[in-house]
Amino acid sequence: MGTGREPLVANSSHWGAFTAAREGDGLRIEPHPLDPDPSPLLGNFTDAVSHPARVRRPSIRRGWLERGPGADRRRGDDQFVELDWDDALDLLAGELHRVRSDYGNAAIYGGSYGWASAGRFHHAQSQLHRFLNCLGGFTRSVNTYSHGASVVVLPHIVGAAGARQVIAGGTSWSVIARHTELLVAFGGLRTSNTWMTPGGRTQHTVGAHLDEAASRGMRVASLSPLRDDLPARLPGRWYPITPRGDVAVILALCWVLVTDGLADRAFLDRYTVGAERFLAYLRGDLDGQPKDPDWAAPLCGLAATELRALAHRMAASRTFVHVSWSLQRSEYGEQPVWAGIALAALLGQIGLPGGGFGHGYGSMGDVGGGSLPYELPSLPRGRNPVQSFIPVARVSDMLLAPGAAFDYNGQRRPYPEIRLVYWAGGNPFHHHQDLRRLRHAFARPDTVVVHEPYWTGTARHADIVLPVTTTVERDDLGVGRGDSHLLAMKQVRPPVAEARDDYQIFAGVARRLGVGEEFTEGRTTPEWLAHLYHQWLGQLTGRGYRVPSFAEFWAAGALELPDRRGDQVLLAEFRADPDRYRLDTPSGRIELFSQTVADFGYPDCPGHPAWLRPTESPGALGADQLGLHLIANQPVSRLHSQLDMGAYSQGSKVAGREPVRMHPDDARQRGIAAGDVVRVWNERGSCLAGAVLSEDVLPGVVQLSTGAWFDPSSDLVTCAHGNPNVLTADRGTSRLAQGCAGQHTVVKVEPMTQPVPPVRAFEQPAFVPAPEWRAAPSPAAVAGEGGV
Ligand X SMILES: Nc1nc2c(c(=O)[nH]1)N[C@H]1C(S)=C(S)[C@@H](COP(=O)(O)OP(=O)(O)OC[C@H]3O[C@@H](n4cnc5c(=O)[nH]c(N)nc54)[C@H](O)[C@@H]3O)O[C@H]1N2
Binding footprint of ligand X on the chain (CB under 6 A): 114-117, 122, 124, 145-146, 186-188, 190, 192-193, 195-196, 223-226, 229, 241, 243-244, 246, 324-327, 329, 362-364, 424-427, 430-431, 451-454, 456, 468, 470, 502, 631-636, 639-642, 706, 724-725, 728, 740, 742-743
Rounded to a whole number of angstroms, the minimum distance from the CB of residue 362 to ligand X is 6
- Exactly one of 15, 113, 554, 648 is catalytic; which is it? 113
> Which does residue 728 touch among Mo ion, ligand X, none (CB within 5 to 8 A, set by kind)?
ligand X
The answer to whether 295 is a known catalytic residue is no
Q: Which stretch binds Mo ion (CB under 5 A): 146-154, 391-399, 510-518, 590-598?
A: 146-154
Rounded CA-CA distance 416/388 in Å is 7
Closest separation in Å from C-beta 186 to Mo ion: 18
d(CA 55, CA 454): 5
Q: 3-class SS at 321?
A: strand
**Nearest to residue 332, comparing CAs of 618, 143, 603, 682?**
603
Closer CB to Mo ion, 281 or 710, in the complex? 710
Q: Tell the smallest beta-carbon distance from residue 332 to ligand X (Å).
A: 11
Reference 480, options 150, 161, 35, 21; nearest CA is: 35
Residues found in the chain? 788
- Closest to ligand X by CB, 589 or 731: 731
Q: Cβ closer to ligand X: 139 or 427?
A: 427
Task: Return the number of the residue (63 or 365) whose C-beta is nearest ligand X.
Answer: 365
366 vs 407, which CB is nearer to ligand X?
A: 366
Q: In what helix (H) or strand (E) does residue 280 lie, and over which residues does it extend? A: helix 275-283
Distance between alpha carbon 108 and the CA centroid of its chain, in Å? 23
The answer for residues whose C-beta is within 8 angstroms of residue 712's C-beta and 6 or more apart is 76, 435, 439, 718, 719, 720
In the complex, least distance from residue 48 CB atom to Mo ion, rounded to whole angstroms: 21
Minimum gap (Å) between residue 342 Cβ and ligand X: 17
What residues are paired with 39 via a beta bridge?
A: none
Contacts (CB under 5 A) with Mo ion, residues 358-377 = none
Residue number, 98 or 329, with CB nearest to ligand X: 329
Quick one: how far is CA 743 from the chain centroid? 11
Closest separation in Å from C-beta 707 to ligand X: 6
Alpha-carbon distance of 687 to 567, in angstroms, equals 46
Residue 501 Cβ, how far from ligand X at the closest point, in Å? 8
Select 351 or 428, whichever has its Cβ closest to ligand X: 428
Q: From the CB of 438, what's the least distance to ligand X, in Å?
A: 12
Instruction: Determine, following the binding rule CB under 5 A, whether residue 146 of this chain makes contact with Mo ion.
Output: yes
Q: Taking CB within 5 to 8 Å according to partner kind, which of Mo ion, ligand X, none is near residue 743?
A: ligand X
Return the axis-axis angle of helices 124-134 and 502-512, rounded to nearest 10°.
Answer: 10
Please tell me the distance from the alpha carbon of residue 352 to that of residue 180, in angstroms, as a whole number. Answer: 10
Selection from Mo ion, ligand X, none that 318 binds (CB < 5 to 8 A by kind) is: none
What's the burial of 101, exposed, middle or buried (CB within 10 Å: 0-12/13-18/19+)? exposed
Tell me the C-alpha to C-alpha distance, in Å, between residue 715 and each of 321, 495, 761. Answer: 47, 36, 14
Distances (CA, A) of 729 to 78, 708, 745: 26, 18, 7
Please identify, using beta-carbon distances, which residue of 271 and 454 lies nearer to ligand X: 454
Residue 680 pairs in a beta bridge with: 687, 749
Query: Which one of Mo ion, ligand X, none interacts with residue 366, CB within 5 to 8 A by kind?
Result: none
324 interacts with Mo ion by CB under 5 A:
no
Q: Which does 429 bind (CB under 5 to 8 A by kind): Mo ion, ligand X, none?
A: none
Tell me the one-letter amino acid at 141. Answer: S
Q: Which string of b and e fits 315-328 if b means at least 16 CB within 10 Å?
A: bebbbbbbbbbbbb
From ligand X, Mo ion, none, interface partner of 639 (C-beta below 5 to 8 A by class): ligand X
Quick one: three-class SS letters along 440-490?
Answer: HHHCCCCEEEEEECECCHHHHCCCEEEEECCHHHCCEEECCCCCCEEEEEC
Determine the Cα–Cα distance for residues 166 and 357; give it in Å rounded to an integer: 8
Residue 502 binds which of Mo ion, ligand X, none (CB < 5-8 A, kind-dependent)? ligand X
What does 452 bind: ligand X, Mo ion, none (CB cut-off 5 to 8 Å by kind)?
A: ligand X
547/639 with CB nearer Mo ion: 639
Active site residue 533: no
User: Position 437: which residue type?
Assistant: R
- Residue 778's contacts (CB-CB under 8 Å, 6 or more residues apart) are none
The site partner of 239 among ligand X, Mo ion, none (C-beta below 5 to 8 Å per kind) is none
What is the nearest approach in angstroms of Mo ion to the Cβ of residue 627? 27
Which of 624, 646, 626, 648 shows the shortest CA–CA distance to 636? 648
Binding to Mo ion in span 336-355, by CB under 5 A: none
Residue 347 interaction partner, one of ligand X, Mo ion, none, beta carbon < 5-8 Å per kind: none
Minimum Å gap between C-beta 31 and ligand X is 16
The catalytic residue among 15, 64, 109, 115 is: 115
CB closer to Mo ion, 187 vs 293: 187
Q: Which amino acid is at 304?
A: A
8 A C-beta contact, residue 234 and residue 214: yes
Annotated catalytic residues are: 113, 115
- Point out which residues bind Mo ion (CB under 5 A): 146
